[in-house]
Structure 1
Amino acid sequence: MNRIQDMGFLILFSFFSLLYCKPDYGFVLAFLLCLCFCSIGYVTESSRGHLAAGLILISFSLFLPRLCIFFPAVFYIFFMDHLYIPVSAGSILCCYHIISADKNRMLFLMWIFLLTALSFCLQRRTEISENLEQNLMKLRDDSTEKNLLLAEKNRMLVEKQNSEIYAATLKERNRIAREIHDNVGHLLSRSILLTGAAKTVNKEPALDSVLENLDQSLNQAMTSIRTSVHDLHDDSINLKEAVTGLASEFQFCPITLDYDMGYEVPKEIKYCFISIIKESLSNISRHSSATEGHITLREHPALYQLCVEDNGKTSDPSNKMNVHVSSDSRSRGIGLSNIKDRVESLKGTLQITADNGFRLFITIPKEQE
Structure 2
Amino acid sequence: MHYREYVRFTRIGVFFSFVAFLTTPVLSPYIKSLGFDDIQLSLIFSLFSLSIIIFSPMIGRVSDMIGRRRVILFGLIMEILAMVFYIIGDFWVVIAAARILNAVGYITVILIVLTKIEDSLDGKTRGRYTGWSLSLENASKIIAPIIGGLIADILFVTAPFYLSILLLTLLAVYFIRSKPRRRTRIRRDIFNVIAELREFLSDRKLKGMAILGIVCHASVPAVNLFLPLLIMEKFGLTYSFVGIAYFFLGFFNLFQFYFGRLCDTAGRSRVLLAGTLIYGIGLLLVSVSQSYPVLLIVLLFNGIGGSMWNISAWCLMSDIGEGMKKEGQILMSYASIAKTGTFVSFLISGFIVMLFGIEELFFLNGLLVLVGTLLAVRFFRD
- Normalising by the smaller structure, the TM-score range is under 0.3
Higher relative contact order (CA 8 A, sep 6+): 2
> TM-score scaled to structure 1, two decimals?
0.22
Structure ID, larger Rg: 1
The TM-score with structure 2 as length reference comes to 0.22
Greater share of residues in helix = 2
